[in-house]
Amino acid sequence: MTPMTTYLAMNKLQRRAVIFGLTAALVHGAAPVWALSTAQAKALVGRVVDDINRVIQSGQSEPVMLAEFEKIFERYADVKTIARYALGRDARSASPAQMAAFTDAFSSYFSRKYGAQFNEFVGGRIDVKSTKAIKSFHEVKAIVEFRGGSKMELIFLVSDRSGQPLFFNIFLEGINMLLAERTEIGAMLDQRSGDLEALISDLKKMG
């Protein structure tokens, strides 16, 4: 079961209200105010969407497409922020070396997992529809149109907190990627009795 399926039963309005508050406070609350413009945020997501459309319309084999999706995440996602949020409070007790190793392992695991989600869009396309500023980041909405005509909302949250415009969260039909990963990684760490080294080793195998 994917994280997106796991959270479908959550109340959408309550989830969105709580999650946007958590995202803004935890990821951006102590950050300096950068000069990211609405146009820059839209342009970043435009490039992400163009690259995704290119892959899903390429007709390449699934392994090749998954490798391409991994490159897209590495290029456009703020992986360090996503990894730190996913690890939660354990990120504060991790050594710099452990955090670097976790981020590397998580990056590959995360990219291939969500690349598999985007692989479900094969035969369709994604179009950017609107952009708006929300405190120190921007929300860029896109619509996924599947082969056959059904549609789905896809939202990217974009910030230049890292020094350049990158997306740090995705909502697919209201399902929050950051929260899903934090829950998933927390459960995986609990299964390993809090052993971060064991988690890092296993994530490398999954990636």
Predicted local distance difference test score (pLDDT) of residue 207: 67
CATH number of the domain where residue 157 is located: 3.10.450.710
Predicted local distance difference test score (pLDDT) of residue 203: 94
Let me know if residue 61 belongs to a domain.
Answer: yes
Let me know if residue 75 belongs to a domain.
Answer: yes
In this structure, are strands 137-145 and 151-159 parallel, antiparallel, or unpaired?
antiparallel
Let me know if residue 166 belongs to a domain.
Answer: yes
- 167 neighbors 155 (Cβ within 8 angstroms): no
Mean per-residue pLDDT pooled into runs of 10, the chain (207 residues): 41 43 46 73 95 91 88 93 94 95 93 86 92 92 91 95 93 90 96 96 87
Predicted local distance difference test score (pLDDT) of residue 10: 41
Domain hosting residue 55, numbered range: 37-206
Residues 164/168/171/172 CA torsion (nearest 10 deg): 80
Let me know if residue 29 belongs to a domain.
Answer: no
What is the domain count for the chain? 1
Q: How much is the pTM?
A: 0.81
In angstroms, the CA 185 to CA 200 distance is 10
Let me know if residue 158 belongs to a domain.
Answer: yes
In angstroms, the CA 153 to CA 74 distance is 23
CA 30 to chain CA mean position, Å: 21
Let me know if residue 136 belongs to a domain.
Answer: yes
Predicted local distance difference test score (pLDDT) of residue 111: 86
Lookup: tokens for 113: 């997992």
The H or E element that residue 56 is part of is helix 38-56
Let me know if residue 156 belongs to a domain.
Answer: yes
Let me know if residue 46 belongs to a domain.
Answer: yes
